[in-house]
Amino acid sequence: MHRFANPTRFMRLSGVVLPWLTAATLAALAIGLVMALVTAPPDYQQGETVRIMFIHVPAAWIAMSAYTLVAAASAAALIWRHPLAEIAARSAAPLGAGFTLICLVTGSLWGAPMWGTWWVWDARLTSVLILFFLYLGYMALGQAFDDPERGSRASSILALAGFINVPIIKYSVDWWNTLHQPASIMRLDGPAIDPSILAPLLVMALAFTLLFGVLLLLRMRTALNERKIRALRLAAAAPAASYSRPTSLTPSEA
């Protein structure tokens, strides 16, 4: 990946990919929403409430995937000093926090009619809430130091330490007795969901993944442009500062 570490090369490549990725995202979202809201039938148990799952489940997948990306990029920044790794991690964290919040809110909206309560301290729900706090802690810690390098190092260590929560989220329904239903798609004996529900769910998962990719590229490009603007301003201010600096007078001149 070091061949893509050059910011100029990344900006050029992402500029080519971004329009196509945006078009694919819009198409997938349009198809997925039509399938989820119109084509998919009501569930025999959940009724129309099942449509919340077409947002909730993809948001949960992206929430965990985004934190995995943050942890991997943080490791690359700490170990290999990859120039774009820190930017990728910092750009992905707010997006992951947003998808985690969507997951928590939609889960509560689904739980109210299905479980009779908005929230229970279920193992899956609690571990996802911890994931949300890890995102917030990562973003806050990166801004908590006057020295940006120290802040980046501290937030990267937190991201790596917090990654242990991702497999806990994944396997919490297997390790503990929880209200949350077990895995319904990634199963050895095949998905336990009817194809009429599974198809729109997979399309929405693809749409959310593409959307995350578009937003990540946009945030990374914005961060690189901001760095370039700061560097240009510092370069422009340096000659002016040296020119305006007073010079000391020699005794003869005084």
The residue ranges of every structural domain in the chain are 17-176+196-225
Angle between helices 7-34 and 195-244 (to 10 degrees): 150
Dihedral sign, Cα of residue 232, residue 236, residue 242, residue 244? negative
Per-residue pLDDT 10s for the chain (254 aa) are 556 568 889 999 999 999 999 999 999 999 999 999 999 998 878 888 899 999 999 999 999 999 999 999 999 999 988 879 999 999 999 999 999 999 999 999 998 888 888 888 888 999 999 999 999 999 999 989 888 889 899 999 999 999 999 999 988 877 776 767 766 665 544 455 778 888 999 999 999 999 999 999 999 999 999 988 987 888 777 675 565 555 555 554 44
User: What is the pLDDT, as a whole number, of residue 4?
Assistant: 59
Classified as helix, coil or strand, 122 is: coil
CATH architecture of 17-176+196-225: Up-down Bundle (1.20)
Tokens of 98: 């947003």
Q: Name the amino acid, one letter, at 88.
A: A
Tokens of 243: 């020119």
Whether the CB-CB separation of 74 and 160 falls below 8 Å is answered with yes
User: What is the pLDDT, as a whole number, of residue 72?
Assistant: 96
